[in-house]
Amino acid sequence: MSEDRLVEKKNTLLRALDLLSADQFGQVVEDVLKAPRTGDLKSARQSLNAAIDACEYVEIKGVRPGKASKASPAQLKLPIVEECDRYENVRLLGALLRVWRVSKARLREKVEDYLNEAGIAAGPVDFKEGRYHGLWRPEDWERHTASLLESDEESGETDNSGLAAAETRLMLSLVSGASPARPGELSVGKFDDPALADFLARLWTFSPHDPIWGEMDSFIEELGELNDTKGREMIEARITTGKQRLEELDNSHKESLAYLECDLGRIRSAIDENVELMLCTGDDYYPDLIEALSEYESVRRRGDTKSEESDRAAKRAPLEDEIINLVTQWESEIGKRQSELREEESAADESPTTEELPIEEDILALRSRLQAEASKRKEFQSRIKSQSDELRKLRQSFRSAESRSRRLSEENLELRECLEEATETETQNSAAAVGKDGGDYLVTYPPRLIKDVKDAVSQAERTFEDKLVVDTNAESQLNSAFEKPDEVFKALAWLAKDLRVAKLNPDVGVNLNEALDKSLKKAVRPNWFYTPRQSPTATGKYPDSYTTSHQGKKYDLHEHIGRGKSHSAKGNIRIAFAWDEKKGKLIVGYIGRHQPTGRS
């Protein structure tokens, strides 16, 4: 079925993770690790073991480094989930999904049969490179996943968010070799110009409740006017360019054209009569004509020697034929287009014959009907405008109500947090308690008021100037709209105190990833996390976001802390940093929204 063709566009296998919840992916990993290591699975399992053993950061207690695949499924499950999901290890994910695809023979065969019956040509997934070969159109993906789930009588599940439904979606992507296109992805792909593609892609990231959509109708009108203006400018530029080309041919190649008896006068006269001819002819002939004339003039003069003349003569004859043919074809195209334009004008000016003319009574009836229809049209336009205005007001009211609801929910959350904090002792946050770690402070600690993220960073810099350096890269957003700037200050304080102590005293034991993560959650909020390294895919693809420079030295920002997984500026924040052992300071090089990843 032609409407169900997959769109050929390679994309990362990391998108498979978007089809599963965290718990569902954990179950997939568990199933793979418990699958047999023999038979059809032997080769795939060997590749998986090699990928596990190659993971530098997967360390299992009681198992030698480089032999992590020997550990039990229970020991391996969480490290593999984290390696694939958080650190975007494409090689490991590819090997894992290859085993899963082979192990789920019954589901795989069902999906293969379905695709064959639907007439959809599937392509292979490149498990080694970690790539899908194509994309599903969103409407086709939804329709076919719904059909597959409806035909699933084995699991008896009706909840499309359940594990069986998720496994069906995952298998459909792996068997078809294509992932579902993200909102707007196919639309963006229609544009070759990166500026237009990037602009459209950014628009697709806004939520349906964003205020930007309230101005979109007006913006589209402005775009229409801009397009009309630029269209006129383009036509004027093409006409000017066309005239310049004719002048160049006359001025630079007049002698050669006259020698070959090629008269451009007829072309020029036709264009003077109707400038539209400049727009539809010339582009196909002018470049070749200029090139042929330039080459011809280099051999037109008789050679100084017999051999030179022989060589020139061999080149001269075919060039003369080419030039004459090009001018002739150009004249022919001009004449053809002239005739078409005259026919169009003639048809438009043609009046009906006497027999075709309606009688006076018919004219009056037609006029009356026309007036009635015009009146109805005016009434409809008025009603449409009124309804559009009402719809716009309703949308605004809805957005306002939703915004108020969101604010109330956030205020309730803050009140609960304040209530919890009020039950803690004052000494935990007193200046004296902190002073043991950092000495005297240049600001009140903790700060009584933090306006925004920029203010939080400024106060942290002054408070911990002997422990912390903030020198952010160009990709940072210190003007971030993150709604909890006080948490940013607490996070920077945690870096200057707890993490710095762990870096200075590695033998203490608090530098273990798990211990640091728990320490951060306690110091800031439970939804914050600490990550000791970044995805190699992301750092390789977006180096500017994962490095910074301070006093002439470049730092790789391998470690980061933050909260939130969405790309909304209000709901997520990332603080990436490096440790300078010689200075004994933490170098904060990125503060802003979620950095770009391998899935971007």
Amino acid present at 90 = V
Predicted pLDDT at 275: 74
Task: Classify 132 as helix, strand or coil.
Answer: strand
What's the chain's length in residues? 600
Task: Classify 533 as helix, strand or coil.
Answer: coil
- 72-101 pLDDT, tens digit per residue, is 999 999 999 999 988 889 999 999 999 999
Predicted pLDDT at 110: 93
Using an 8 Å Cβ cutoff, are 88 and 72 in contact?
no
What phi, psi does 262 have (nearest 5°)? -100, 110
The stretch 414-438 carries a mean pLDDT of: 52
Predicted pLDDT at 418: 67
Predicted pLDDT at 20: 92
Would the pLDDT of 569 be above 90?
no
Cα separation of 596 and 242, whole Å? 46
Instruction: Show me where the domains of the chain are located.
Output: 2-188, 219-346, 431-592
- 347-367 pLDDT, tens digit per residue, is 766 655 555 555 556 666 666
User: Which tokens hold the place of 141?
Assistant: 């993906």
Predicted pLDDT at 237: 83
419-438 burial, b if ≥16 CB within 10 A, otherwise e?
eeeeeeeeeeeeeeebeeeb
Predicted pLDDT at 31: 95
Would the pLDDT of 479 be above 90?
no
- 221-276 pLDDT, tens digit per residue, is 999 999 889 888 888 888 888 888 888 888 888 888 888 888 888 888 887 777 77
Predicted pLDDT at 157: 47
235-244 burial, b if ≥16 CB within 10 A, otherwise e?
eeeeeeebee
Q: Alpha carbon of 339 to those of 6, 280, 329, 334: distances in Å?
A: 44, 13, 15, 9
Examine residue 446 and say whether the peptide bond preceding it is cis (omega within 30 degrees of 0): yes
Predicted pLDDT at 99: 96
Task: Classify 505 as helix, strand or coil.
Answer: coil
The stretch 410-433 carries a mean pLDDT of: 57
